[in-house]
């Protein structure tokens, strides 16, 4: 595991946006689809990513097992084996069932792992039987008119999935920016690592937002190619403002990244609401820490309201100081057993 730098203003600011948002009281659902592997080495690798991701969702973030679906290439009776094969028909059926069970403001995360092929803007996610096109997947999402849906396509040639799937209340991540980036991608492994490990939780609030996972994975991909002195053959992108244009550099003024910052895996009630001491907390030390955290959050809100009246450099200095204090406070709470 590699630890990413903590003191990043844009990352911390965006990470804070997820704290206390209405999504904190909503549930999340996870669908992991692993496509054709091509050989035993890839089959083992992709299956390992899927197991790591689903295990972290359940054990680390408390997602109810009934809200986790794993579809894969082979079913062999192993306890970690997929529930069903990852055919287009089974994907559609799984998403229909998730839609029927989901609350109107739940979060739906769909992760595609495997190989992809493409020519020009025509791309496919390789599955047993017919392959999955972005248009077909977009049609499967019709059952989520009010929920926030995130699709993470970790495959080569995945870039053209983004403009097709982009829309209101959607977060789209692709491992590449075009169909021409056809080489094996590293993004998927680092994305799973971001969810599984603690190093990507940059604001130390006990959750990993999709923005944090994206920033962690892209940073590790860059380091991977630099360490081998190779020219990068993949460039991940994120879109969550519905304009169909992917972004990679997600600073504080970027239009992309805000919805991703408020999207994380977790069951209802995970994390504390702004200004609240979570129900059931009786430890006086934890109560004090939660109240100090709430005070810092209120000061961030107040500072943001004054931005137009301040010099930008002063605003950024004061914001960074507050966000660092907030991240450290979250760390204190975690060390005392809070933010679970």
Per-residue pLDDT of the chain (340 residues; tens, 9 = 90+): 443 443 344 444 444 333 333 333 478 999 999 999 999 999 999 999 999 999 999 999 999 999 999 999 999 878 899 999 999 999 999 999 999 999 999 999 999 999 999 987 799 999 999 999 999 999 999 999 999 999 999 999 999 999 999 999 999 999 999 999 999 999 999 999 999 998 888 777 778 999 999 999 999 999 999 999 999 999 999 999 999 999 998 876 788 998 998 899 985 444 444 445 776 788 888 888 888 887 787 777 677 667 667 888 888 888 888 888 888 888 888 888 886 5
Q: Are 215 and 315 found together in one domain?
A: no
Range of the domain at 219: 9-261
Q: Are 326 and 253 found together in one domain?
A: no
Q: Are 97 and 219 found together in one domain?
A: yes
Within a domain: 3: no
Instruction: List the 107-113 sheet strands across, edge first.
Output: 84-85, 68-72, 28-34, 107-113, 148-153, 170-174, 237-239
Within a domain: 214: yes
Within a domain: 240: yes
Q: How far is CA 151 from the centre of its chain?
A: 9
Task: Give strand ranges (E) for 131-259.
Answer: 148-153, 170-174, 237-239
Q: Are 20 and 138 found together in one domain?
A: yes
Confidence (pLDDT) at 67? 96
Q: How many residues does the chain have?
A: 340
237-239 and 170-174 strand pairing: antiparallel
Confidence (pLDDT) at 18? 39
Q: Which of 261, 292, 326 is the last residue of a domain?
A: 261
Confidence (pLDDT) at 249? 85
Q: Which of 230, 261, 292 is the last residue of a domain?
A: 261
| Both tokens assigned to 190 | 């680092």
Q: Are 164 and 217 found together in one domain?
A: yes
Within a domain: 267: no
Q: Do the beta carbons of residue 191 and residue 171 sit within 8 Å?
A: no
**Number of domains into which the chain is organized:** 2
Within a domain: 270: no
DSSP 28: E
Confidence (pLDDT) at 276? 58
Q: Are 98 and 129 found together in one domain?
A: yes
DSSP 132: B
CA distance 83 to 66: 12
Q: Are 251 and 323 found together in one domain?
A: no
Q: Which of 227, 261, 295 is the last residue of a domain?
A: 261
Confidence (pLDDT) at 283? 83
Q: Are 50 and 110 found together in one domain?
A: yes
Q: Are 203 and 69 found together in one domain?
A: yes
Within a domain: 274: no
Q: Are 37 and 155 found together in one domain?
A: yes
| Both tokens assigned to 291 | 């109240």
Residue among 274, 245, 172 at smallest CA distance from 214: 172
Confidence (pLDDT) at 149? 98
Within a domain: 273: no
Q: Are 311 and 213 found together in one domain?
A: no
CA distance 129 to 308: 56
Burial track 46-67 (b if 16+ CB lie within 10 A, e otherwise):
bbebbbbbbebbbebbebeeeb
- CATH number of residue 188's parent domain: 3.40.50.1460
Confidence (pLDDT) at 79? 87
In DSSP terms, 108 is beta-bridged to 29, 149
User: Which residues, including other chains, have CB under 8 Å from residue 1's CB and lie 6 or more apart?
Assistant: 193, 197, 198, 199
Within a domain: 277: no
CA distance 206 to 315: 27
Q: Are 185 and 290 found together in one domain?
A: no
Residue among 72, 179, 67 at smallest CA distance from 127: 72
Torsion angle in degrees (nearest 10) through CA of 17, 239, 267, 22:
40
CA distance 53 to 48: 8
């Amino acid at each position: 595991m590699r630890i990413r730098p903590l003191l990043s203003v844009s990352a911390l600011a965006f990470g804070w946006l997820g704290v206390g948002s209405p999504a904190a009281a909503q549930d999340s659902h996870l669908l992991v689809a692993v496509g054709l592997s091509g050989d035993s080495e890839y089959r083992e690798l992709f299956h390992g990513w899927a197991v790591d991701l689903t295990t972290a969702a359940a054990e680390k973030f408390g997602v109810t097992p009934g809200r986790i679906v794993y579809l894969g290439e082979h079913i062999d009776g192993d306890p970690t084996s997929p529930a069903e094969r990852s055919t287009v028909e089974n994907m559609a059926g799984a998403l229909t069932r998730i839609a029927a069970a989901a609350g109107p403001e739940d979060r739906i995360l769909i992760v595609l792992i495997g190989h992809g092929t493409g020519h020009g803007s025509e791309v496919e996610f390789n599955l047993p039987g017919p392959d999955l096109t972005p248009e077909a997947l977009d049609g499967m999402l019709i059952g989520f008119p009010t929920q926030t849906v995130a699709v993470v396509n970790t495959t080569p040639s995945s870039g053209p999935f983004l403009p097709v799937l982009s829309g209101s209340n959607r977060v789209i991540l692709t491992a590449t920016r075009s169909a021409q980036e056809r080489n094996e991608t590293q993004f998927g492994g680092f994305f799973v690592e971001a969810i599984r490990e603690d190093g990507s939780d940059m604001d130390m609030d006990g959750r990993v937002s999709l923005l944090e996972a994206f920033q962690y994975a892209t940073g590790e991909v860059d380091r991977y190619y630099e360490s081998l002195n190779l020219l990068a053959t993949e460039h991940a992108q994120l879109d969550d403002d519905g304009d169909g244009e992917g972004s990679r550099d997600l600073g504080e003024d970027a239009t992309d990244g805000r919805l991703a910052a408020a999207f994380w895996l977790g069951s209802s009630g995970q994390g504390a609401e702004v200004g609240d001491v979570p129900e059931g907390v009786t430890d006086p030390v934890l109560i004090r820490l939660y109240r100090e955290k709430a005070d810092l959050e209120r000061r961030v809100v107040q500072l943001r309201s004054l931005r137009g009246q301040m010099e930008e450099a002063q605003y950024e200095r004061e914001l960074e100081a507050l966000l660092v204090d907030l991240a450290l406070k979250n760390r204190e709470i975690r060390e005392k057993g809070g933010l679970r």
